[in-house]
Structure formats: C-alpha cells, structure tokens
Amino acid sequence: MLSPPLIWRKNSRARRLSLRVDPAKRAVIITLPPRISKKEGLAFLHSQSLWVRRAFEELPLKALDARSILIEGINIPLFTEPNAKRGVWLDESGIHISGNAEHHERRLKDFLRRLAIERITPFVKIYSQNMALFPSTLALRDVRSRWGSCTRQGRLMLNWRLLLAPANIRDYVIIHELAHLKYFNHGSEFWSLVDQYCPQGKEGRVSAENWLKVHGPVLLSII
C-alpha cells in the first residue's frame, strides 16, 4: 500500500492524539492535542500502520473499479466504451462511458451531477409547495462534508450525491433543509415540522438519519 495522504488537525480541546481514516477523502486524519508535535503524530501513525492498512482495505471500491454505481438506491452497472463517441449515456442495461480511460471518472461525475439536477429538483419543488416554504435559490453542489444546508437568506444547497441514495433518504434531507426556512435551529418546533412531512413521520426521519450515519460515508467515497 502506498503512503496515504495525511490531514493534520490541531484541537485545543483534544485530550489525546488520535487518527481516523476519512472514507470520502481517502486520507488519514491525525488530530493533535496541545503540546503534541507532528513528529509524535508520525510516530503514532507508524505504530498504527497495520490498522491503517486494514482500514483502507475495507474502504468501498470507487464506482469505476466496482463497475457499478447506485442511482436512487439501485445498483446500476457501469460499462466503458473506449471506441464510442457519445459521451456518457444511460439505457436499460446501465450507464455507458465513452472515450479514453483517463477521462472516465470526470465524465461519469459530470453526467451524475446533471442527472441529479434533473431528478432531485422536481422533489424540492413538490415539498416546497406542500410545506409552503420556498427557497430563494437552489444549488446542487459537489461537497463531502454535508448533505445539505440552508442560509438565513433562504439559499438551499443539496449534495448532488443524494442522487445515489434511496428516495426516502433524499426526501428527508430535502424536508430537513426546507424546514430551516421557517426554523433556523434544531428545536422541538423544527423537528415537529420535519416529522409532519417526512415519509412515515418521526419513525421515518429517525430511520433516515441512521441510514445516513451508516451508509452516507460510502456514498461520499465511491465517486
């Protein structure tokens, strides 16, 4: 295994030196408490090299390596077509990517982002109308730290990778962010509003939250 990228973080409140593997960044994050040097951090990393190697071996394959990608929770085969000149297209057999291999990841990502706009935007409009809450702008962005956000100015941002998640997960995130247009907090009134519109109410919301905790890092890491 090649040496993984390292991300150093100083944390004045940390009590001990720690490290973890970030699936999305495919990097080792080393958190240094006060008075601990990078030299000590590297020594700790070296002592945990077996654990780090196993953690990387357990990471999910990138979509192109796995030859498949999730779309709305359904596993869709990926096919590379080096002799074709059609860009990327989706048909009943799966997603086809043409051209040279070095361009496949970028082309697939661009295609999925366009597909996300096409498929997610209508549900934002539906829930906006149902909840009578309308964002000033909507953007689907390439972020790896969150699934959505909403500003006090009403600007709604959703992670385009919601396209990969099952419909109930997508809907929960949309409802959650729209609810912030009325309650810019996570108080009881906010959660009551979310539960009112979330499929299967509070039970559905809790199920979606748990699903994202378990499966979210995978979606963030495969493409």
Q: What H or E segment, with its residue span, contains residue 9?
A: strand 6-10
CA distances from 160 to 10, 68, 117, 141, 163 (A): 30, 18, 7, 6, 6
DSSP conformation class of 134: -
3-state secondary structure of 152: coil
Q: CA torsion sign, 14 to 20 to 22 to 25?
A: positive
Q: So what's the pLDDT on residue 2?
A: 59
Question: To which residue do tokens 């057999």 refer?
Answer: 93
Q: What is the pLDDT of residues 101-156, one digit of tens each?
A: 889 999 999 999 999 999 999 999 999 999 999 999 999 999 988 999 999 999 99
Q: Are 144 and 27 in contact (CB under 8 A)?
A: no
pLDDT under 70: residue ranges of the chain: 1-2
The domains of the chain, with CATH numbers, are 6-57 (no CATH), 63-109 (no CATH), 111-221 (3.30.2010.10)
Helix-then-strand count for the chain, H and E: 7, 10
* pTM across the whole model: 0.81
